[in-house]
Structures are given as structure tokens and as C-alpha cells.
Structure 1
Amino acid sequence: MDTKRLIVFGGVIAAIVIGITFFAPQPKKVETTDETKAVVSVSTFSLLESAHAVAGDALDINMIVPLGNDPHMFSPNPTQVAEISKSALFIYNGAGFEMWAESLKNTLPKTIEVIDMSQHVALQKNEEEHHDEHADEADHDAHAHEAEHHDEESHDEHAHHHHGAYDPHYWLDLDNMIKMTQTLDAEFSKLIPSKAEQFHNNATAYIAELQQLKSEYETGLAECKNRTLISNHDAFGYLAHANKLENVSVIGLSSDEQPSAKTIAEIIAMVKEHGVKTIFFEELINDNVSQTIARETGAKAVALQPLENISEDELKSHQTYLTIMRENLKKMREAMECR
């Protein structure tokens, strides 16, 4: 009898220990080196790339949106929210790109530093005034955006009171990618002051690579027969604007919009009129519209990567922000018949 009691008692104790272990607050995800690694959660691929470049192996960088997912359509599940809750830093794109982050940030533990990266870059006004109404105002808008792009002071005050007032795809402007890297350098240095010099050296090296890429774009797109970038989804405004190209998109900033027949007809007319030979579509979203326009005009439909996210295959083949941007440049040079 005593032995039985002992076994039952032992079983109860074991169950309690397992329960405590299982339900106890889990510690931050750490690796035991000389210093435990703080976790940094980021929402988009461009933030992941910049964070990895600056942190090296000093921090554990975790991207919330799974590879291959369209970030516009994404919403985190409880496991992903729990992952963010273990972070020392949560960095999101902002400017209305992740509506889930706006509501989530208020529910996170106060110990987590939350950074809206859109407050640290130069934003452009949202061009949602569709081309079916304003096609002839493209030139005027381009000049307005020129001023907007350099007007960093004014956008910072207003960006977050008007969701959707700004185009959130700002990482496609290399000057913004540089600003993001500088911001992460400062934030990581505050987080781990003992590694500040390492972060700064890493950031400096990555910024030099971004500046090199910027000069490749300037040279590569300097002399082109055609300077119109036509795409299915308005993700390439910053890329076009930074390189003095005219940006025309079939749908707006949200990748799940359906274009009207009138919009498609107008873009087909524009493609024919300008002799455009390539319609770009975004890799992670449906390309039916681009394919339709291509069929109607004899143009080619070609994938252009907006770097909102990458696929498993791209990761496996060691694709990075830099390699994909170079691939985009190659496709744009061919499409626009650049010398």
C-alpha cells in the first residue's frame, strides 16, 4: 500500500513539476555564448536584411511574416504574437503597411521597445488617385513627389495620423535603405552598448554596399529609350521616383484590389502609344492582369521583385536585398532599352 502511495505521490509531484515547467513564463530565446542573445522581431524582408547586416551574430533576428507570404494579406497567429512578446525590440515597417502591428503594439509587454521604421525615412505621398482619373497628371505628380521625397521634416509629423496617406514601399529607394541601416545601428547600440563599435562597423560596411548599388542604378538607368515603368501593383513608386522614371500601376497599393475594365483599357492604350515592350508583375501576387495586358499589346509580362518578402527558393539560392535589386535593375534596363 505504502509503495503504491509513494508511486502515486511521485507521479503527482512529477506532473506538478512538468506543469510548472510547461506553464512558467518562457525565457527569451537565447543562445548561451559569453552573453545571451537578445531577440529582435522584424516584420518585413528589407528590415530583416538590414538588421542582419548590422547585428552580425550579436542578436537573434526573427522575421514575423513567413517566407513566401504576401505581407499585405498577413495577420499573426497566437504563436507569432508570443514570439514577438519575447523580443527586446519589435521593428515594423509602418506607414499603414501592417495594419496588425498598429493594434498589436499596444498589447505588448512594456519591456519591449517598439520602432515604427517609417518615422525614420523619407516618405512619398500615396498615389492612390487612380490613373483612370489622373493619367494626364503623372508629370505633375512626379514633380510633387520630388519635393516630398526630400521633405523629411514635414512627413514625420503627419505620417501616422493619416493611414494610407503615404506609400509604404519606401525600402525600394536606396537612400531610405541607408537611413534604415543607420537607425538600426543606433537602436542596437542602445540595446547592447558593449557591441556598439561592432554594430557601427557593420552598418558602415553595409551602407557602402548600398551606395555602390545606388551608383549602379544611376549609371544603368541614365540613358533609356523608354522611361515608363508599368506594373500590376503600385509597389514600385520609390524605385521609379528615385531613378526619374514614370510609374504607372494597374491597381493601387493593396495587392488584392481588382482593377476596373476602364483602367485596364486605358493602360493598354498607353502601352501601345508609348511602345512599352514589358509589363512588370509582382512575384508573390496574381499576375493575371499583367498577362492580359501583355496579350492585348504584344508586350512581355516579366516578374519584378518588390522585396516585401522572398520565397523559400530565393532564400535557398542565397538571394539578398542586394542581389535581387541587381536582378531588378537588369530587367528594367532590358525593358526600357537602356544603353
Structure 2
Amino acid sequence: MDTKRLLVFGSIIIAVIVGLTFFASQPQPKQDETKVEPIVSVSTFSLLEAARAVAGNAIDVRSIIPLGSDAHMFSPNPTQVAEISGGALFIYNGAGFETWAESLTNTLPKTTQILDMSQHVALQKSEEEDVDEHDNDEHADEHDHHEEHAHQHGAYDPHYWLDIDNMIKMTQTMDAEFSKLAPAKAEQFHKNAATYIAELQKLKSDYATGLSKCKNRTLISNHDAFGYLTHANKLENVSVIGLSSDEQPSAQTVAHMVEVVKEHGMKTIFFEELINDNVSQTIARETGAKAVPLQPLENISQDELKSHQTYLSIMRENLKKLREAMECR
């Protein structure tokens, strides 16, 4: 081999050695070290909202109840049960709202933590538990029916997120639980929670101001979902049916509600979105009032999701409707 060929061959060998040394010295990503966010499953929309506000992108928060469905009537299928079982944490509303959750929690693996949010908020007793002293004998059967549904839901009204103070408590609880779940992200959770709580406090202030001076202070609805909202804002709450959205009111009940609307001079009857509004429409026709949807935030529709509606924005829309109905200034 002549000198020229030796030089070329030697140069190639040197280049290969240098290349191998360079690439060997570079840190290579390890596939098994890829970070996977903890999975947290939640039931109602208010829990989803608070969880995502606190978690940011550090936790994979998933909703179990499909959008647009009546949360009262939901029951998980095997796929949804498997998803809950595969997560790090399952958060449910409690207070008897999810009739399926209590039995499910007994079957979840030890690797899935469970949080009943109703244990961390201020609950108020279901109005259905107390028989109205002014009712006469002709309404006795009706009250028996109400009490049957009240016991299905428990002694407490489960719609507690409509009291903004409870939504703040829920956010604080999420912060504490997520910080235990992912300690390295605790500072991020604290900041996210503080930001969201500040927005909730502003919303609470807007409600207090917006509903302070109104011509009437009675909210009439088809379903008893707004007790916390009315109690927190010193309003009177009158509903056609109780806590169960599938309850069917008697003809006597509807006739009584027509009298109440006329007596109070009410111009608006509210009905809960996502459930049948036939009763409210009937009362509206009999009294000349308007039937207007009010969102109890148990769930939201596909359209509301697409238009980026949130607890905050929907509660502000509710406030606008209440102010108009109650002729506030």
C-alpha cells in the first residue's frame, strides 16, 4: 500500500474514532424516565373546574360523567369504572348526589385514593327533610313522595358548589390533595389555587352587590337545585319538585305553584338546563311568566364546552338572569 493510500485510510480511522467519542459523550434520553402525570377522575362539572384550575398541566384531570347528560341519572359503564380504577385519585361530590359512587368506592384498588368532597364543605339540610307546617292534609301524599326522594339523596342538599364559599373550600382541598399526590409540583398548585380563589372572591362580591337591591327576592324553579345559591344571597327558594330531577309533580303541586307565581307577581320561572322543562313551561303558560334556563352547574353541554364556558362565566350569566327576573337595580 503506497503512502497516499495509507494517509487516506488513517484519516478515515481517526474521523470514525472522533465521531464515536463525540456521540458517546452526549447524554442520551432514557425512555423509561419519561414523566407521566397522575390521573385524577372526577364526577360533577364543578369538581372538574376546580381540579383543572389547581392542577394546570401537572395532573391529568378526567371527567367521568359525559357532557350534556343529566348528572343525577348517570351510572358508569365498565370502561368508565376501569378508568377510575386506573387513576391515582377519584373525587366525587358526595352527600348522596352520585348514588353509584358509594358502592363503587368499595371495589376500587388500594392504589386509587378516594376523596368525598362533601366532607370538606359546609352542607345545609335538605328542605325536603322538613315537612312544611303550613301544608294541609291534601298535600300529605305529596310530602311523603318528597321525603322518599330526599332520603335517596341523604339528609343534605348535595348542590353545595353553588355557594361560592364552598367552591373556595373545594379549591383549597384540591390544592392540599394534589400537593400530596405530586409534591414536586406543590408550589405550582398553591399559586394556581390562589389565583382561582381570587377570581371566586370577586364573583362572590359581584353577587352580593348585584342582588342587594331587588324588587322581589323569590327564585321559582322546576327542580330544587338552587338552595345554596339562594341561601348565600338571602333569597327565597321555591321549587316545583325536590332534589331528584326525575320526580314527577302532581297536578295539585303544579296548580299550587301557579297560585304562588300569581300571588308574588313573578315574571320568570326558572328551569334547570339539561332536564325536561315541561313543568316550567306549563306554569309559564298559565301565569303569563317567562320560562328561563338557569344553570346549576352539575354538568355542561357540548355547546357550552365549545364556547369555553366555565364555572365563573356561567355563574355570571346566572347572575344576569337573576337580576333581570328579580328586577334588581
TM-score by length of 1: 0.81
Q: Which amino acid aligns with 1:226?
A: N
Specify whether residues 35 and 164 from structure 1 end up closer, same or farther in structure 2 by C-alpha distance, changes over 3 A only: same
Task: For 2:112 and 2:58, locate their aligned partners in 1 and report how far apart those are by CA, in whole Å.
Answer: 18
Q: Which amino acid aligns with 1:223?
A: K
Task: For 1:174 and 1:309, locate their aligned partners in 2 and report how far apart those are by CA, in whole Å.
Answer: 17
Q: Which amino acid aligns with 1:187?
A: E
**Which residue of the other structure, out of 257, 273, 276, is the alignment partner of 2:247?**
257
Specify whether residues 337 and 163 from structure 1 end up closer, same or farther in structure 2 by C-alpha distance, changes over 3 A only: closer
Shift of 1:132: 7.7
SS of the residue corresponding to residue 246 of structure 2 reads coil
Misfit runs of 4+, over 6 Å: 130-133
> 1:316 and 2:290 equivalent?
no
SS of the residue corresponding to residue 229 of structure 1 reads strand
Task: For 1:132 and 1:181, locate their aligned partners in 2 and report how far apart those are by CA, in whole Å.
Answer: 35
Task: For 1:277 and 1:226, locate their aligned partners in 2 and report how far apart those are by CA, in whole Å.
Answer: 10
Give the conservation status (yes or no) of the 8 Å contact 1:132–1:266.
no
Shift of 1:119: 0.2
Give matches, 1:173-184, under 5 Å.
173-184=163-174
SS of the residue corresponding to residue 40 of structure 2 reads strand
**Which residue of the other structure, out of 183, 194, 215, is the alignment partner of 2:205?**
215
Give matches, 1:53-72, under 5 Å.
53-72=53-72
> 1:327 and 2:317 equivalent?
yes
Specify whether residues 183 and 191 from structure 1 end up closer, same or farther in structure 2 by C-alpha distance, changes over 3 A only: same
Give matches, 1:22-37, under 5 Å.
35-37=35-37
Give matches, 1:189-200, under 5 Å.
189-200=179-190
**Which residue of the other structure, out of 260, 282, 285, is the alignment partner of 1:270?**
260
CA-to-partner distance for each residue in 1:144-164, whole Å, 9 max, x for gaps? xxxxxxxxxxxxxxxxx9951
> 1:126 and 2:116 equivalent?
no
The answer for the alignment partner of 2:176 in structure 1 is 186
Task: For 1:335 and 1:165, locate their aligned partners in 2 and report how far apart those are by CA, in whole Å.
Answer: 30
Task: For 2:109 and 2:300, locate their aligned partners in 1 and report how far apart those are by CA, in whole Å.
Answer: 30
Give the conservation status (yes or no) of the 8 Å contact 2:153–2:243.
no
Specify whether residues 113 and 276 from structure 1 end up closer, same or farther in structure 2 by C-alpha distance, changes over 3 A only: same
Aligned-CA RMSD value = 1.9
Specify whether residues 260 and 185 from structure 1 end up closer, same or farther in structure 2 by C-alpha distance, changes over 3 A only: same
CA-to-partner distance for each residue in 1:173-200, whole Å, 9 max, x for gaps? 0000000000000000000111101000
Task: For 1:310 and 1:214, locate their aligned partners in 2 and report how far apart those are by CA, in whole Å.
Answer: 21
Shift of 1:267: 1.1
Give the conservation status (yes or no) of the 8 Å contact 1:130–1:252.
no
The answer for the alignment partner of 1:88 in structure 2 is 88
Give the conservation status (yes or no) of the 8 Å contact 1:132–1:263.
no
The answer for the alignment partner of 2:98 in structure 1 is 98
- Which has the larger Rg? 2
Q: Which amino acid aligns with 1:78?
A: P
Q: Give the aligned length.
A: 285
Specify whether residues 33 and 61 from structure 1 end up closer, same or farther in structure 2 by C-alpha distance, changes over 3 A only: farther
Q: Which moved more, 1:124-133 or 1:316-325?
A: 124-133
Give the conservation status (yes or no) of the 8 Å contact 2:129–2:155.
no
> 1:304 and 2:274 equivalent?
no
Shift of 1:214: 0.2
The answer for the alignment partner of 1:41 in structure 2 is 41
CA-to-partner distance for each residue in 1:275-334, whole Å, 9 max, x for gaps? 011000011000000000000001000000000000011000000000000000000000
Specify whether residues 56 and 32 from structure 1 end up closer, same or farther in structure 2 by C-alpha distance, changes over 3 A only: farther
Shift of 1:337: 0.1
User: Mind listing any 5+ residue stretches in structure 2 that lack a counterpart?
Assistant: 1-30, 137-150
Task: For 2:97 and 2:87, locate their aligned partners in 1 and report how far apart those are by CA, in whole Å.
Answer: 21
CA-to-partner distance for each residue in 1:25-55, whole Å, 9 max, x for gaps? xxxxxx9995211100000100000000000
SS of the residue corresponding to residue 99 of structure 1 reads coil
